[in-house]
Amino acid sequence: MQNKKQRPLLVAEISANHNQNLELAKKHILYAKKAGANAVKIQTYTPSCLTLNSKSNIFKINANSPWDGKYLFELYSEAFLPWEWHEELFEYAKNIDIEIFSSPFSLRALELLESLHCPRYKIASFECVDLDFIYEVAKTKKPIILSTGVAQEEEIKDAVLVCKKAGNNDITLLQCTSAYPAPLKKANLSKMPLFFEKYGVKYGLSDHTLGNLCAIIATTLGASLIEKHFILDKKLGGVDSDFSMDFKEFCGLSKEIDNVILALGDKDSPRVVSEQERVFARSLFVKKKIQKGEILTRENIGSFRPNAGLHPKYLKDVLGRIATKDLEFSKPLNENDFE
């Protein structure tokens, strides 16, 4: 493990912000790269992968969310990324040199993504209960990211164990609050390092809060991955626009993360301070003219700024010694000035 702090993988979650427009999806990929993202993430599903086309009240969203009043099938029909676009988007991302990966929601989705050589997979927190599916994803031996959002502790444990059972130990658990947007008081960022302590896995943040604060804190806590919803311009609208970070905001976040990594530095590197930086440190000076043969005392030697003479720690060793030459007022005291 390297001691120097590493920049977390900064992921721009496009989610539904493509608004089912292929060219807009490409623009999101391009501008995510320009904004400083290391990767973009999409979602691979059809509405029928996730729910039933039913108008029963059970399927109606009645939570405190941007989608209140919609039926699940209706919401996912507005949000899904057409499967026939995937190959073109993967090729586009490759051509502009940015990683693209996805959250699959079915075996058919996983099969499609494997055919496109998807480099890693994310399991949404609502899917953490589907252990059979997680096992199939983990069997690919690709890095697997598990969002913890709505998952109970036992469900998180089971999901990690299933990944390891499949022979996949490249696991990242993401602290996540499944609210859109998420309030700061529910972010619980201090839980992130516990994922390593409990399960021996990497950890990160899927951030639904507004602004940069939580992502910056996560960086200081050693997050290996930070995911933020990304939209070119909130004026585009769409089902995820309200809690997404726009291009300007994402640029700012990326720069702040770089600055945080720079400021954290390397805790095990040797402490190096240049002489220029130490110029105003104290050193030993002649504070009263001294004749050759005169004894050095506290009356004629003292510790003052700048750093031009002997280190102050030698003061007691110098006291009582004999001057080998005339020493003028304000002269820095050196070893050849006494015997």
pLDDT tens per residue, the chain (339 residues)? 334 578 999 999 998 889 889 999 999 999 999 999 999 999 999 999 899 999 999 999 877 677 778 889 998 888 899 999 999 999 999 999 999 999 999 999 999 999 999 999 999 999 999 999 999 999 999 999 999 999 999 999 999 999 999 999 999 999 999 888 899 999 999 999 999 999 999 999 999 999 999 999 999 999 999 999 999 998 888 777 888 999 999 999 999 999 999 999 888 788 888 888 889 999 999 999 999 999 999 999 999 999 999 999 999 999 999 999 999 999 999 999 999
Helix axes of 153-165 and 192-199: crossing angle, nearest 10 degrees: 50
Q: Are residues 33 and 158 in the same domain?
A: yes
Rounded to an integer, what distance in angstroms lies between the CA atom of residue 98 and that of residue 118?
12
Domain contains 17: yes
Q: H-helix or E-strand containing 203?
A: strand 202-207
**Do 97 and 202 reside in the same domain of the chain?**
yes
Domain boundary among 238, 264, 290: 264
Q: Are residues 253 and 280 in the same domain?
A: no
Strands 225-229 and 9-13: parallel
Residue 281 lies inside a defined structural domain of this protein: yes
Specify if 297 maps to a domain.
Answer: yes
Instruction: Give me Rg for the CA atoms of the chain.
Output: 30
Are 94 and 239 found together in one domain?
yes
Among the candidates 209, 242, 264, a domain finishes at: 264
Residue 294 pLDDT: 97
CATH of the domain at 286: 3.90.1210.10
The answer, yes or no, to whether the previous bond of 143 is cis (omega within 30 of 0) is: no
In a domain? residue 26: yes
Co-location of 284 and 221 in the same domain: no
b/e map 81-113, b = 16+ CB within 10 Å: beeebbeebbebbeeeebbbbbbbbbeebbebb
Co-location of 131 and 237 in the same domain: yes
Amino acid at 28: H
Domain boundary among 223, 246, 264: 264
150 and 287 inside one domain: no
pTM score = 0.84
217 and 319 inside one domain: no
Using DSSP, state whether 274 is helix, strand or coil. coil
Show the domain range for 100.
9-45+80-264
Instruction: Give the integer Cα–Cα distance in Å for 334 and 283.
Output: 10
Q: Is 251 within the bounds of a domain?
A: yes
- CATH at residue 201: 3.20.20.70
Residue-wise burial string across 32-42, b where 16 or more C-beta atoms lie within 10 A, e elsewhere: bbebbbbbbbb
Structure token digits, residue 259: 């600055």
Identify whether 50 is part of a domain: no
* Residues 260 and 277 occupy one common structural domain: no
Residues 191 and 300 in one domain: no
Residue 326 lies in a domain: yes
- Split into its structural domains, the chain has a count of 2
Please tell me the distance from the alpha carbon of residue 171 to that of residue 169, in angstroms, as a whole number.
6
The span from the CA of 199 to the CA of 286, in Å, is 63
